[in-house]
Amino acid sequence: MVTQNMEKMKVVYERSQAMTDASTFYCPGCTHGVAYRLIAEVLEEMDIAKKSIGVASVGCSAFTYNYIDVDFVGAPHGRAPAMATGLKRAVPESVVFTYQGDGDMISIGAGEIVAAAGRGENITVIFLNNANYGMTGGQMAPTTLPGQKTTSSPYGRDVEKMGYPIKASELLATQEGASYIVRRSMHDAKNIRKAKKAIRMAFETQVRGLGFSMVELLSTCPTNWHMKPVDAAEWVEEKMIPYYPLGDYKVHPIINELKV
């Protein structure tokens, strides 16, 4: 054990005020916890936590409200963008964001998310893509990779029978109403820093009234991938990124010029 003389030291990184003190219920190494922290940090830095309303969805994301310390509602599976729309239209001065997984957003929720993006709904969507249905034990999701084994594709995803994965960022970026659609990853520190910047830009899009914003975050699911957390992070880099390239799919010109 190393004991340091901390008298001359200052804090350079600590838990955000916009996070609760709760210990998460997530599996060790699951990057949900990273995403929450980034959202909380952005809300705190922009000083908008006090007017924020989060919309939790269904899946491992259902308990988001235990960790981010703002007003929250819980939506039925897939319906978070519609609930967020109701909230934002009722209280336009609030900052409304949804937190959704891949099954929630792009399987059962495909109708709602396309409609929200098409409308240019002034909300922010944080989309966790971990290539499976985590909460229910690791079934195939629309984002499961070709050949990937899950509990409902035990021989590996056969694209002939089960189709190809859906690329949500590319899909939604084709919509006129979408103003900030980017894909980032959380598999290492460098990418986590970029993810935070993207989340910041997404909320800047909202507070400036510029339209629909979404950040797709490639995430790990060590338990259902049957991997150690460190190996799961590598799998994101080696297997997921080639299929889901990181990048900016739609950026409103004003956001493009923005320096924060």
Partner 1 sequence: MPLKGTIVVDEHLCKACELCIDACPQNVIALNDDVINSRGYHPAYLVEEGCTGCSICAIVCPETAITVYREELVRE
Partner 2 sequence: MKRELWKGNEAFAEAAVRAGLEAYFGYPITPQTEALEYMSHRMPDLGRAFLQAESELGAINMVYGAASTGKRVMTSTSSPGTSLMMEGLSYVAATEIPMVLVDVVRGGPGLGNIQPSQSDYNQMVHGGPHGDFRQIVFAPSTVQETVDIVYEMFDIAEKYRMIGIVLIDGSIGQMMEPVVLPPMKEIRKEIPEWAVRGASGKDRRILTSIHMHAEDLEQANLRILKRWQEVEKNEVRVEEHFMDDADMAVIAFGTSGRIAYSAIRSARKKGIKVGLVRPISLSPFPSKFIGEVADKVDKILVVEMNAGMMLEDILPIARDKAQVEFYGRIGGMMPFPDEILAEIERLNGQTRSADAHPRDVWLARMETIAG
Q: Verify binding: residue 13, partner 1, rule CB under 8 A.
A: yes
Q: Verify binding: residue 25, partner 1, rule CB under 8 A.
A: no
56 binds, among partner 1, partner 2, none (CB under 5 to 8 A by kind): partner 2
**Class of residue 93 by CB neighbours under 10 A (exposed 0-12, middle 13-18, buried 19+):** exposed
Question: What amino acid is encoded at 232 in this protein?
Answer: A
6 binds, among partner 2, partner 1, none (CB under 5 to 8 A by kind): partner 1
Q: Segment 154-213, which members bind partner 1 (CB under 8 A)?
A: 188-189, 192-193
Nearer to partner 2, 137 or 147 (CB): 137
Q: Which residues contact 187 (CB under 8 A, 6 or more apart)?
A: 31, 218, 220, 233, 234, 236, 237
Nearer to partner 2, 79 or 157 (CB): 79
Q: Verify binding: residue 238, partner 1, rule CB under 8 A.
A: no
Q: Is 1 helix (H, G, I), strand (E, B) or coil?
A: coil
- Torsion sign (Cα): 223, 227, 229, 235: negative
Residue count of the chain, please give it: 260
Q: Segment 29-58, which members bind partner 1 (CB under 8 A)?
A: 29-34, 37
10 binds, among partner 2, partner 1, none (CB under 5 to 8 A by kind): partner 1
Q: Which residues contact 185 (CB under 8 A, 6 or more apart)?
A: 191, 195, 217, 218, 236, 237, 240, 241, 246
Q: Which residue has the tokens 């909460």?
A: 135
From 89-97, 153-161, 195-203, 208-216, give the range in contact with partner 2 by CB under 8 A: 89-97
Q: Segment 45-84, which members bind partner 2 (CB under 8 A)?
A: 49-53, 55-56, 62, 65, 69-76, 79, 82-84
84 binds, among partner 1, partner 2, none (CB under 5 to 8 A by kind): partner 2
Q: Distance from first CA to last CA of the chain, Å, rounded?
A: 39
Number of residues that bind partner 1 (CB under 8 A): 35
Q: Verify binding: residue 87, partner 2, rule CB under 8 A.
A: yes
List beta partners, residue 54: 72, 97
Nearer to partner 2, 74 or 156 (CB): 74
Nearest to 112 by CA among 81, 143, 153: 81
Nearer to partner 1, 211 or 222 (CB): 222
Nearest to 206 by CA among 10, 66, 43, 72: 43
In angstroms, give the least distance from the CB of 40 to partner 1: 9
Radius of gyration of the chain, Cα coordinates, nearest whole angstrom: 18
Residues that bind partner 2 (CB under 8 A): 17-18, 43, 49-53, 55-56, 62, 65, 69-76, 79, 82-87, 89-91, 93-95, 111-112, 114-115
